[in-house]
Chain A
Amino acid sequence: MFILITGLLLGGTYALIALGLNLQYGVARIMNLANGEMLVAGGFAAFWFYTAGQINPVVGLIVIAPVAFVVNWLLYRIMLQPLVTRAKSRGALEVDSILATFGMSFAFVGIMTWAFGGGYFNYAFLAQPVEIFSSSYAQNRVVAFVLAVVIGGALWLWLTFTRTGLKLRAVSVNPAAAPLVGVDVRAASALAFALGGAVTATGGALVSMFFTLDASVGVLFTMKALIIIIMGGVGDIRGTIVAAVILGIAETAVARLIDPGLTLAAAYLLFLLVLLFRPQGLFGKARG
């Protein structure tokens, strides 16, 4: 039970890390390597709210998420749209966006180092235990898990049952054909990218409750997010959540039952198996 719950909580954390990138890559076709930095920025904002204003990080999301949305929308419009316009094929866009966002990630690290310094940031919010089935877990992890479920669920419902969601899915499936049925691909892509950024920053604010962050740590989150969305299937929210939970439980089980030293090996083994037997990802559709 301990393994299952700890694994679920970890899976929730992973989902928070990866959901935003899935939107950005799946719909806007931007392989955003600065995703981890956006996450750390969200974490820093939450840290700042909490230490400077005693504002609860969950409440702080009311400000952090919209600000991140606007920032990411501008980033897309100013920096990434030209790449999309120029790209002759999907492959070319991927290479360009990888290079551009890789550069952006360094710029973000520089800005955050300048603004906050390079030190370690953490704070104690809801760091008390909560008892579930006679084992103790950190309240902040449980809160983050619940919010991950809420965010993931809301995104899925929104994408599945609303008109805007339908447009986003149309762009995700075929950006070339979507305009034929009256979808503004540019607007939809910008929306997806901005929303992805907001979700990532939200995830950052939530994981900052229990992770120690510093300005340079973002790349670790980017790596994790990449594995998860590729395992889960690009462009499918359900896949990301399922992959995150599988990864969380598998890592926890290996850590507890075999050896914590093998968690990375376990994660990459799963990744490899998915790539071998379902290269499009658990929920992905094979590309025609």
Chain B
Amino acid sequence: MIRRTIMTGAAAAALFAGSLGAAGAQDTILLGAAAPQTGPLAGGATVTHWPAVRLWVQQTNEDGGLQVGDQQMTIELVEYDDQTNPQQAIQAAQRMATQDEVDFMVAPYSTGLNLAAAPIFAQLGYPMITGTAVTDQQPALAAQFPNMFFVLGRTSVMAEDTAQLLVDMRERGDLGDRVALVNVADAFGIEMAGISKAILEENGFEIVYETSYPLGTQDLAPVIDGARAAEADAFIAWSYPGDTFALTDQAIVQNFAPQVFFTAVATAFPAYQERFGDQIEGVLGMGGVNADDPAFQEFAQAHMEMAGQAPDYWASAATYAALEILGQAIEGAGTTDRAAVLEYLQDQSHEYATILGPVNFNENNDNERYWTVGQWQDGVFRGVASQGRDGVTEVETFDGWN
């Protein structure tokens, strides 16, 4: 399960390393990464996390590495599989710090593993810039772990934006009052469903069908049948990948076509489009990107070439951006000294140029500009709601499975 990848893609970098290597000075930055390669979240990490991490390392090295002070340093990536196990994630972080003596670490994949690894990152003094952690605990976490930063956004805001989208659509006359609200029965699903329910009810929506199903369930015909029998105008599912696919599949089979069809995680995955083709026109999901932004398109192109698969339309870019931020902080601090880099990151006046657009962190180490809801439009998953991002597209009514 242990793999050490030395990225020597560019001839320039190799030449450079060769010419300076003899001088004895450190000319590489060792970057440690532990995330799922097996276990329940391996599927998501393979789509979102690993290709983005490897791509950033490869591209940075192809450009000659990072300019640290007066030295040009390439990056060597050390990979571990945390088996989607919080305990393994902690051990891997410890091992990377003490055995491999890595200079910096990539934050793990998913909210849960990031929360599990946060104390050890803090204890070891490594900056932790998360690209796939969405929570509402940013202020508390940042107070407890001042080394922890958040790029992807806040859960409550995402649930709020989703609910708000329904409110707007109803005002436009595109949507009725009846909402079916379902969720996967884990911390994520329960929290998101709770927040969106409160907002929907506040705005006079009627929750006509509400249910949860156990994690890992893929036999969801009864859920879709229930929502259909309740004559819901909007279907909101706070779902994970397997169930996102299964719910969509069943909705198509039973021809359940409400005015709004929303599924959460994996709706933005390229595999979702591969599976359902143009039937998903108008389907709403969590996340989104500015698909017309040349920076994103360039990233998607490079991602395709390196990994043989497209990035997802949400957290792939955030994972990549988290590393861009780390790189810029190292260059800005002009040293690989972790304390100095952390200090640079904590300075709220610094802004980072990323493929998401400019990012800066507030007093809660929180990025306040991010995508919240997206929609499949003409074969592209476009952001239809965001916090402070450009390129928001108007939301369309879902007019049935084609």
Interface residues of A (CB under 8 A from B): 2-3, 6, 10, 13, 109-110, 113, 117-120, 122-124, 127-129, 135-138, 210-212, 214-217, 220, 251-252, 255-256, 259-261, 263-264
What's the nearest-Cβ distance from chain B to residue A250, in Å?
12
User: Are the C-beta atoms of A260 and B255 separated by less than 8 Å?
Assistant: no
In the complex, are the beta carbons of A137 and B253 less than 8 A apart?
yes
Give Cα distance in the complex from A251 to B269, angstroms. 30
B222 and A252 form a contact (CB under 8 A):
yes
* A residues in contact with B46, CB < 8 Å: 117-119
- Known contacts A118-B38, A256-B225, A260-B217, A123 near B255 by CB under 8 Å: no
Cβ A138 vs Cβ B249 within 8 A: yes
Cβ A214 vs Cβ B254 within 8 A:
no
Contact mask for chain B residues 14-46; partner A; CB cutoff 8 A; 1 contact, 0 none: 000000000000000000000011111011011
Within 8 A of A (CB), among B225-255: 225-226, 241-242, 245-246, 249-250, 252-255
Please name the 10 residue pairs, one residue from A and one from B, whose CB atoms are nearest each other, closest first. A118-B42, A255-B222, A118-B46, A214-B43, A260-B213, A256-B222, A119-B46, A120-B43, A212-B245, A138-B253
**Shortest beta-carbon distance, B305 to chain A, in Å?**
16
Contact assessment for B37 and A118 in the assembled complex, using a CB-CB cutoff below 8 Å = yes
Instruction: Tell me, yes or no, whether B333 is within 8 Å of chain A by CB.
Output: no
- Shortest distance from the beta carbon of B38 to any chain A beta carbon, whole Å: 5
12 pairs of residues in contact across A and B, judged by CB atoms under 8 Å? A118-B38, A120-B47, A124-B277, A136-B254, A210-B218, A212-B245, A214-B43, A215-B42, A216-B39, A216-B84, A255-B222, A263-B213
Query: A119 and B271 in contact (CB under 8 A), knowing A127-B249, A212-B242, A261-B213?
Result: yes
Contacts of A259 in B (CB 8 A): 211-212
* B47 (CB) vs chain A CBs: closest residue: A119
Instruction: State in angstroms the CA–CA spacing of A119 and B109 once bound together.
Output: 14
A110 to B81 alpha-carbon distance, docked (Å):
11
Q: Is B155 an interface residue (CB 8 A)?
A: no
Given A129-B253, A211-B246, A252-B219, 11 more pairs with CB closer than 8 A: A118-B36, A119-B309, A128-B253, A135-B254, A136-B255, A137-B221, A210-B218, A220-B216, A256-B222, A259-B211, A263-B217
Tell me the minimal C-beta distance from A77 to chain B in angstroms: 28
Instruction: Tell me the minimal C-beta distance from A62 to chain B in angstroms.
Output: 25
- Give the CA-CA distance A124 to B222 in the complex, in Å: 21
Measured CB to CB, the closest approach of chain B to A256, in angstroms, equals 4
Are B271 and A260 neighbours in the complex by a CB distance under 8 Å? no
Contacts of B36 in A (CB 8 A): 118
Contact A260 B212 (CB under 8 A): yes
Q: Which A residues are in CB contact (< 8 Å) with B218?
A: 210-212
CB distance from A186 to the nearest CB of B (A): 34
Main secondary structure, interface of A, reads mixed
Within 8 A of A (CB), among B269-285: 269, 271, 275-277
Q: Bin chain B's interface residue count.
A: 35 or more
With A215-B38, A260-B217 already in contact, the answer to whether A210 and B269 are too (CB < 8 A) is no
Interface hub of A10, A13, A122, A251 (most chain B Cβ within 10 A): A122
Contacts of A137 in B (CB 8 A): 221, 253
Give the docked Cα–Cα distance between A264 and B216 (Å): 11
Q: Is the CB of B45 within 8 A of A118?
A: yes
With A6-B221, A212-B246 known as contacts, the answer to whether A127 contacts B252 (CB < 8 A) is yes
- Beyond A137-B253, A138-B253, A260-B223, whether A216 also contacts B43 by CB under 8 A is yes
Alpha-carbon distance between A124 and B223 when the two chains are bound, in angstroms: 21
Instruction: Tell me if B253 and A263 are in contact (CB < 8 A).
Output: no
> Which of B152-203 touch A at CB < 8 Å?
182, 185
B-chain residues with CB within 8 Å of residue A260 when the two chains form the complex? 182, 211-214, 217, 220, 222-223, 226
Inter-chain CA distance A109–B39, complex, in Å, is 9
Given known A-B contacts A119-B47, A136-B253, A138-B250, A109 and B38 have beta carbons under 8 A apart? yes
With a cutoff of 8 Å between Cβ atoms, the chain B residues found around residue A216 in the complex are 38-40, 42-43, 84
Q: Which residues of chain B are near A119, meaning CB under 8 Å?
A: 43, 46-47, 271, 309
B45: nearest chain-A partner, CB-CB = A118
CA distance A10 to B246 in the complex (A): 14
Contacts of A135 on B, CB cut-off 8 Å?
225, 254
- A113 close to B37 (CB less than 8 A): yes
Q: Are A252 and B276 in contact (CB under 8 A)?
A: no
Could you say which residues of chain B place their CB within 8 Å of the CB of A214? 42-43
The distance in angstroms between the C-alpha atoms of A138 and B47, with both chains bound, is 27
Which of B46, B216, B221, B249 neighbours the largest number of chain A CB atoms within 10 Å of its CB?
A: B221
Q: Which chain A residues border B1 with CB–CB below 8 Å?
A: 110
Q: Is B264 an interface residue (CB 8 A)?
A: no
Q: Closest CB-CB distance, B228 to chain A, in whole Å?
A: 10
**Residues in B whose Cβ lies below 8 Å from that of A129:** 252-255
Q: How far is the CA of A261 from the CA of B214 in the complex (A)?
A: 6
Given known pairs A260-B213, A261-B212, the reply for A113 and B269 (CB within 8 Å) is no
Closest-by-CB residue of A relative to B252 is A127
In the complex the two chains form, what is the Cα distance from A215 to B83 in whole Å?
Answer: 12
B345 interface residue (CB < 8 Å to A): no
The residues of A that contact B266 with a CB separation of less than 8 Å are: 120
- How far is it, in angstroms, between the C-alpha of A216 and the C-alpha of B226 when the chains are bound? 30
A225 and B309 alpha carbons, distance in the complex (Å): 34
Question: CB < 8 Å: which of A117, A124, A255 contacts B275?
Answer: A124
Instruction: Give B301 Cβ to nearest chain A Cβ, in Å.
Output: 19
Residues 260-300 of chain B, each 1 if its beta carbon lies under 8 Å from chain A, else 0: 00000010010100011100000000000000000000000
How many whole Å from B241's CB to the nearest CB in chain A? 6
Distance (whole angstroms) from the CB of B198 to the closest CB of chain A: 20
Contact assessment for B222 and A120 in the assembled complex, using a CB-CB cutoff below 8 Å: no
Chain A contacts of B45 at CB under 8 A?
A: 118
Q: How far is the CA of A123 from the CA of B276 in the complex (A)?
A: 8
Within the complex, what minimum Cβ distance (angstroms) separates A210 from chain B?
A: 7
Q: Are B276 and A124 in contact (CB under 8 A)?
A: yes
- Residue numbers in A under 8 Å from B212 (CB-CB): 259-261
Q: List B contacts of A109 (CB < 8 A).
A: 38
The chain B residue with its CB closest to the CB of A253 is B222
